[in-house]
Structure formats: C-alpha cells, structure tokens
Amino acid sequence: MFKSAPISNLAQVADASLSSLPPAGLLVVGAVLIGGLLMWAFGGRLVKPMYGFLFGVAGAVAGLFLPASVGLAVNPYLGIGLGAVTGALAGILVFRLSMAAALGVAGGVLAPTVAGAVLWLNPAASAQTGAPLAGEDLFLPGVPVEEAAGEGVGPLDSFFATDGAGADDGRDPAIDEAAQAAAALARSAAERLRSFGAELAGEARTAWDNLPGEQRLVLAIAGALGALAGFLLGLSFPKKVAAVGSAFLGAGVWVPVAARVIHDFSLPGAGALPGTARGWLAVWLIVAAAGLALQWTVLKPKADTPARAE
C-alpha cells in the first residue's frame, strides 16, 4: 500500500494520492495535521511563550557573539544571560505589537465589509480574465494545475532535482522521490494560491472602481476606524487576539490536510467534501469559530485585562 514506483514527473507526484506516499511522507502529513490541531485548540496559550522563547534564544546567541565582535571582553555566561533576558522581554513586546497589528488588519478589512453590507452594495460582476473563483482555484484534493507551455524549471525544482545518478552515489531512491513530492506539492500549492489571490484582487478592484465616490469615502473611513480600533484592542487584549489568530490559522492548516486524507483514503464523508471555494470558505470559518469557542470556554486561560501586565 505504501510502496510506489519511482515517479519522475513532478506533476504526477503533485496529483498522486496520499495513499501512495512512503511511510516517511505519511509521517510528515500526520505531523502537519497534529500541529494544525494543536494550534487550533491551544494556540492562544502557545503564541506568547513561543515569542519569548525564540527571541530569548536569539538574544542569547547575540549576547555570546556580539561583545567579542565589537572588541568587548565580557564573560560569555553573562552575555548569554543578559542577551536571553533582553531577547525574551523584546519577544513579549513584539508579541503585543504583532497581535495589535494583526487585529488592526482584520479590523481594517472587516469594518468596510460590514459597512458595504449595511449600504447594500451591489457591485457589478467582475470581468473574468481567468477562471472564476471556484474549487479549481484552491489547493483542493484531486484538482490538477495546468502549467503554461515552455515553463522553465522553478527554484524548488532545481533545489530538489536529481541528476539521475541516485543508484550510483548511494542515495536512497525513496528520499529522492520524497524530495520531488515535496517540491511538487509546494509549487502546486503556491500556484493555486497565486491564482486565487489574483482573481480575488481583480474582483475587488472592479468592485471598487464601480462604486460611487460617496460610498468609497464611507468604506475608506470605515476601514481606517476599524484598523485603529483593532490595533488598540490588540494592544489591550493580546491573548484573545492570539486565540483568534491561532484558531483561524490552525483551521487553515488541519482542515485541508484532513480533507485530503479523507479524500485520498476514501474514508467516510469523502463524498460530502465541498467542491467550491465558497463551500471551503464556509467550512474554514465554521471550524475556526469552533476552535475559538473551544479556546475561550473549555480551554480558557487566565483572563487578561489591560491593567494586568502581559
């Protein structure tokens, strides 16, 4: 079940079923799935410590090497300790600012969207310059990507390319196959996301151009106020913002992986998977909302208030 013949065509690898992957590939898929679930359910508690840890490590490394590079004679242990503490404090500050920025962006997008709904905006249909926003624009199971004729080898292909001498240099063919699969899947996902983003941006530009000047002004003001309110709320309640972001990000990771597993292994529910972009968007929002409710209720951390230091 897990063994497959060597695949030289990267497009075939990208569209291959997960059931044909070697055990190592399935372990990677499982790790991504578990990581997404952890982020979805516990991300609100993990984000701040992760910032502190990563910045603390970076500060410790800087404290070890930076004094010597500028000609200062500092005890290495003292440099590591001071660097770690400084880095951890900087990480906590960056955590708060990044959560504020994230909520500011969300508010800047959500506020004009709500304002547009209140104004009953009905922009003209987008001029279709490419495929419509449907399932084929997303990284959905079993949807191939048509590559342009004469397309050159991308950087990922060059990095993972084999020279045909795998049998002579002692490399395991399974490793080459897994590398080709990783490159193909990464390229396929990036291409589909670019297509989806370009089409979405085109529709947004067309809708904006078709709006009267008064409605543009209302939407612009709503966006600015929403961004400001989101930034201030993010500064005040960074943990709650982290829970929101991790719930949506975690759902965006584990939902497509789980869907691909269900589809490729023909598990129960495979026939009920959505086939359009709107369907997958609805699934993502529902699952993300469930993760947020889980973090805020069942797995609720200690309450954070503006008065208490983060």
Contact 137, 259 (CB under 8 A): no
DSSP string, 159-185: HH---S-TTTTT--HHHHHHHHHHHHH
Interatomic CA distance for residues 110 and 133, integer angstroms = 20
Q: What is the pLDDT of residue 198?
A: 78
CA neighbours closer than 13 Å in the CB half-sphere of residue 153: 11
SS3 for 8? coil
Instruction: With CA atoms as reference, report the closest residue to 25 among 170, 175, 166.
Output: 175
- The verdict on pTM exceeding 0.85 is no
Q: What is the pLDDT of residue 218?
A: 86
Backbone Cα Rg of the chain? 24
> CA 68, 74, 75: angle at the middle one, nearest 5?
120
Instruction: With CA atoms as reference, report the closest residue to 32 among 256, 245, 192.
Output: 256
Task: For tokens 């290495």, name the residue.
Answer: 76
The token pair at 59 is 């500060």
* Displacement of CA 53 from its chain's centroid (Å): 21
CA neighbours closer than 13 Å in the CB half-sphere of residue 197: 6
Which helix (H) or strand (E) segment holds residue 163: the answer is none
Q: What is the pLDDT of residue 109?
A: 80
Residue 66, class by beta-carbon neighbours within 10 Å (0-12 exposed, 13-18 middle, 19+ buried)? Answer: middle
Contact 95, 75 (CB under 8 A): no
Tell me, what amino acid is at 58? A
Helix (H), strand (E), coil (C) string for 261-278? HHHHCCCCCHHHCCCCHH
Contact 276, 135 (CB under 8 A): yes
**Total Cβ atoms within 10 A of residue 296:** 15
Q: What is the pLDDT of residue 174?
A: 65
Q: What is the pLDDT of residue 97?
A: 92
Contact 59, 85 (CB under 8 A): yes
Per-residue pLDDT of the chain (310 residues; tens, 9 = 90+): 434 444 344 344 445 567 677 777 788 888 889 988 998 988 888 888 989 999 999 999 999 898 888 888 888 899 999 999 999 999 999 999 988 888 888 888 888 878 877 776 444 443 444 444 444 444 444 444 444 444 444 444 544 454 454 445 555 666 667 677 777 777 777 777 777 777 777 777 787 778 788 888 888 898 899 999 989 988 888 888 888 888 888 898 899 889 888 888 888 888 888 877 778 888 888 999 999 998 888 756 555 545 454 4
Q: What is the pLDDT of residue 76?
A: 87
Interatomic CA distance for residues 200 and 112, integer angstroms = 16
Contact 127, 206 (CB under 8 A): yes
